Amino acid sequence: MGNKTLAIIKPDAVQKDYTGSIISMIIKAGFKIKAMKMTQLTKSSAEGFYSVHKERSFFKDLVAYMTSGPCIPMALERENAVEEYRKLIGATDPKKAAEGTVRKLFAVDIQLNAVHGSDSDENAEKEIAHFFSKDELLNNFTE
Ligand code: CMP
């Protein structure tokens, strides 16, 4: 059970000024923000980040969505981070997300779903490294 996960506030949520509300929910749920930036993904960076989905019918639209404006990746720390963050954000499809979850409150549909969260400890490590250098992480995760 790992202590880190990679969260992204996606472009539509940033554009609609949901950033403050979403960060507040993350902090109230007991996560520590260990690194954060606002950045606009390039096509090749978005394709790389979501390469596991490259054969899916929604891949092209997903890349277009994720490059459509600035997003906010964050490296988060908490005990059992991957699972706890996924509980906080709710199901990928907001129609199936539990009441009070980030996606229930802020997502539009299964694609424009407001936030991303890593799905395993192994992917959390890879996804954090996609966005943050060792210097940016300040080595401040509790090991
Ligand atoms: P995320 O958790 O970032 O992981 C992959 C993303 O692909 C997902 O959120 C959605 O934005 C998108 N996605 C997943 N399933 C679908 C789908 N069936 N149709 C369209 N987009 C999807």
Q: Where in the sequence is the domain holding 121, given as residue range(s)?
A: 4-40+70-133
Output the pTM of the full model: 0.96
Q: Is 113 in the pocket of ligand 1 (CB under 6 A)?
A: yes
Residue 28 located in a structural domain: yes
Residue 75 located in a structural domain: yes
Residue 51 located in a structural domain: no
pLDDT tens for each residue of 49-70: 999 999 999 999 999 999 999 9
Residue 59 located in a structural domain: no
Q: What is the CATH number of the domain that holds 99?
A: 3.30.70.141
Residue 87 located in a structural domain: yes
Give residue 108 CA to ligand 1 midpoint distance, Å. Answer: 12
116, 117, 131, 132: which is the annotated catalytic residue?
116
Looking at the structure of the chain, the number of domains it has is 1
Task: Give pLDDT tens digits along the chain (143 positions).
Answer: 889 999 999 999 999 999 999 999 999 999 999 999 999 999 999 999 999 999 999 999 999 999 999 999 999 999 999 999 999 999 999 999 999 999 999 999 999 999 999 999 999 999 999 999 988 987 677 76
Rounded (10°) CA dihedral 79, 93, 109, 131: 40
Give residue 61 CA to ligand 1 midpoint distance, Å. Answer: 10
Percent of the chain with pLDDT over 90: 92
Query: For residues 85 and 68, what is the distance between their CA atoms, to the nearest angstrom?
Result: 25
The answer to whether residues 73 and 131 touch, using CB atoms and an 8 Å cutoff, is yes
Residue 120 located in a structural domain: yes
